[in-house]
Every structure is written in C-alpha cells, then in structure tokens.
Chain A
C-alpha cells in the first residue's frame, strides 16, 4: 500500500435545510482503489453528503476535489463526464427501453456512435451476468435486477469513482451476497467505490475502511473492525444506555 493517491478529497462541506444542519463541516477522503463505507444511523446526513459529491445539491461551505480538481458549480452531467458515477437509493429504470438500451444511455457519454455504445453496453451487461435479460423491457425486471441494471448504467459511463447509495436495501440474503460479489468485481476493475449503507453487516465485510456520520458530523474513521468498537459509534447506533450497560 505504498504511495496511495487521494482520488477524492472532501474538505469541510456543510448543508443546511431550513432549521436542520444536515451536514456540518464534513471532511474525509478516498484513496485510489479502495472501498470506503459511509455509515450512520437514519438522518445522519449520509445521503445529503452523497448528493453534494454527485452535484445533485450544492454545499453551503467547503469544497470537493476529484483528482485534484474542484467540483464546485459543476452540474451532475459534468461530474459524470469527469468520471464520477452514482446510483440512486430508488432505482428507476428508463421505461420503454430494454436492459441493453438502458445501459447504452450510460455508454453514450463516452461515444456518440451507436454501434460503439452498443458494444460497450453489451460488455457491461455480460459483466453483470444479465446477458439473458439484455432484451427484456426494463420495466419488467425484479427489484434486484433493477438495482443491478442501475449499477450497469453507471459502469457504462466508465467512471473512476463510483458512488453507491444503499446497494442492498430490500435485497434477500442471496441477492445481497451477489451484490457484494459484484461490488468487489467492480473494484477489481480499478474503480474506487464509496458506499452509503446502513446495513452494518454488509459494509463491514466489504469496506476497506469506513467513516461514520452522526448528526451531520464525522464521528469515526478507520478499518471496520476498529470503528465498530468505538463508543461514539455504538452510541450513535444503539443509544447511550446500551453502551453504558455493556461497560
């Protein structure tokens, strides 16, 4: 692990919605090639932080650097072109398009030629092991296949950084296992990954490192095993009394 390069640097970003400080002066970074888990109880500000990186909402303060370049004032599509892809908590495939065509929407970022986009999309569909469903109308997919399709669309934009929001929410244990396997495969392609998740178990096995948010503030940063032992994290997840009882 020599000479780790920081692919993303988040420096003191904040966001306020009316009276709620969703994220306050949050700073963290992602190393090239790692899987970073962003954890936190419901309402901790995970999705807000996520959306600020993806350019869907603007931060009130601070800055975000991707490969040394500021993302300030960039629109979501600009950010995608730079090499950051994202998935959504709620997967909505483009209706009326097949699985392959959905993925092609993503691959058109890198080429305007239809044949090239199609070839690229076919590779992605095979990567997802969805070849048999390539020509299925995306509306007819199961919830889990939609999730995979969404990952595929994002991969087709050839990102260097992938932001994933709640990848296993609502999945069966089998499906969750498949998704974990897929995420590892994606990392093996050399893509750095930030995962927002509140299912602890999944993220512990998957992440190289986790950071924990509570009330919009960073309360822990480190390897998964160490972080789960930190009293602040236990408090945030299970409450004060649980921690006291164990002590």
Chain B
C-alpha cells in the first residue's frame, strides 16, 4: 500500500523524463535536467543506507570523490574505459566504506554525523595537498581534467550533445530506485528499519546491527561511487572541493530529508523540488549573490524538519489517499460494524 505512490507518481514522472529530450533541445536546459537527475540519483544512493537505518551521514561525498578519481585516473593513466572505471571506482568506494562504517556505526546521532564528516574531510584535505602519490599525479586542489577524445565516443564516455548524458543518468536513477525497492522487501530492508526503530529490540531478534548496516553502507557507497564517476565524466573535470567537499554530502542529505527518507521516491522528489530552485536562483540573480541557493536550501531544510519531518512525500501521499481513501474508510467502518454485530 505504501509503495503505491512510487508508481502513481513515479511512472508519469518517468514517462515525462523519457520524453523531455524529444521536446527540449537547448543544451543548457538539458544539462540542468541531467543535473536534477544526478542529484536525485545521489540522494537516492544516500537514502539507501541513511534513510533506512536512520543515521545522518555527511561523509558520503568521499565515496563519490574516490570513485571519480579512480575512474578519471584509470582512463587518463591506463586508458581504461570509464564504464569499467566506474565499476572499479564504485568498488573502491565500497571497500573504503567498510572500515569507515565499522568505526562510525557504533556511534549514535551527532557523534555518527560528525565522525563521517571527519573521515571525508581527512580525505579531501589530503587530496587537496597532494600533487603526487606514489607516482600517481593527483594535482592537489587544482584537480584533474579528462582530455577530450574528439566527437562522440561511447567507450570513452564522451558525447557531443547532452542527450546521451541525460539518458545515462536517467537509467542510473531508475536502477537505484529499483535496487531500493528490492532492498525494502528483502531481509536487509526489514532489518535496517528494525535497527532504526529500536536497536536493542532488533538485536534480541537476531539482528547483528553492525553487519547489516555495513552491508547497506557498502552498497550505498558503491552506488554513490557510480554517481561520482558520472559527475566527473559529465564535466570531464574533477577536483577535491567540488567532487568530494561537504557541500555535496549536504546536498544529498537535504534533498532526501526534504523529499522523504526511507522511501523509494522521496529523494527524487527532494531533488526535483530543490535543484531547480537552486538552478533558477543561480541563473537569474545568483551571479551577484553567491550562495543564495544554499540559503534557500537551508530554509527548506528547516521548514521540512519542523513541518514535514518525514518529508514532502507524506502530504503527497495523504493527497493521493484522500481521493481514493474515502471509500476505503467507509468500507472499513462497515466491516467493523458487521464484526460488532456478530459479537453481540
């Protein structure tokens, strides 16, 4: 019953998303749309663990950054196609997530959050100040560029127009949502929700919280890594500040929280709401007001925490239920009456 909204709202959105490149040819707008989908993807990857286990990680950008660097370096240094590089990057992120998760999942609330920041910042600061690591050119704060191979080249993950980039991230987004849906119905999903609800209670029912949180984190890190690799390919440029700074982590968290944590569609709704606002502000008055969109994000976050702590998906769901729900309610009442009648 709860997943219904995913289809009622999600399928038309998907149809719309599939059709957009047929009508929109402006490459700036297409790029912006791809960015909306990118943030929806990243937020969904974040949600995979944080939304379900109920912990606030602000270190996920590290996974995106590491995978991005791995992809770019494999391509520029060894000529490995970014498609394979992405997988290698995602795997590196998943590998990194194990020690990080092992350390952090024992902590609660703010302690967890601040430790994830600490991990991500260590990596970022180190990268920003390292030009060369064991002969690998990292180029510090300056970052790495991916040289153009010229024209559209599928293997090199480089395309002339924005349309291919748009469809790639759309497919990735559908993929992450499908993965989330599968997880929700599996033992892992049940266990994560149980850990979120009552850790001691879950332990007594045979749930090893560390094991299952870590499993979900590794998957989430892998997915986030794929996104990070895509991000680097889209701009053909990567640097520590943008690709693994705390702002990226905050974006993922805010979009998920505003949209609805622990739901399949929530993170995407959050990205659909927030990113266009940010983009419009930047496009219109943002040039002279650096950071205005982040002020709006901050305000939206505060409003969501106070008024919709479970995200805007909740009022939307109520709206959907409200139209069809009336009949169901009356039917339920009749059934209850009948039962009472039988009891007498």
Contact = CB atoms under 8 A, between A and B. Distances in A.
Direct A–B touching, Cβ under 8 Å: yes
Given A105-B190, A108-B187, A114-B187, A96 B197 contact: yes
Nearest to B310: A96
B15 interface: no
Interface in B172-199: 185-187, 190-191, 193-194, 196-198
A247 to B, nearest CB: 44
A47 interface: no
B187 A80 contact: no
Tell me the interface secondary structure of chain B in the complex.
helix
Contacts of B194: 94, 97, 105
Contacts of B132: none
Contacts of B146: none
A117 B187 contact: yes
B167 to A, nearest CB: 32
B202 interface: yes
B204 interface: yes
A237 to B, nearest CB: 30
A14 interface: no
B193 A157 contact: no
A97 B193 contact: yes
A101 B191 CA distance: 10
- The range of chain A's interface size is 20 to 34
B206 A80 contact: yes
Nearest to B201: A92
Interface in A81-136: 81, 85-86, 88, 92-97, 101, 104-106, 108-109, 112, 114, 117, 132, 135
Contact of B205 (A96, A106, A112): A106
A108 B207 CA distance: 9
A114 B201 CA distance: 20
B187 A112 contact: yes
B262 interface: yes
Interface in B77-121: none
Given A101-B190, A108-B187, A108-B190, A77 B208 contact: yes
B321 interface: no
Interface string B233-268: 000000000000000000000000000001000000
A114 B205 contact: no
A56 B200 contact: yes
A117 B206 CA distance: 14
A157 B205 contact: yes
Contacts of B203: 56, 75-77, 80
Interface of B: 1, 185-187, 190-191, 193-194, 196-198, 200-208, 262, 339
Report, nearest first, the 7 A-B pairs whose CB atoms are least far apart: A94-B197, A109-B206, A80-B206, A76-B203, A92-B198, A105-B194, A108-B187
8 contacts: A56-B203, A56-B204, A77-B208, A86-B204, A92-B198, A94-B202, A106-B206, A108-B190
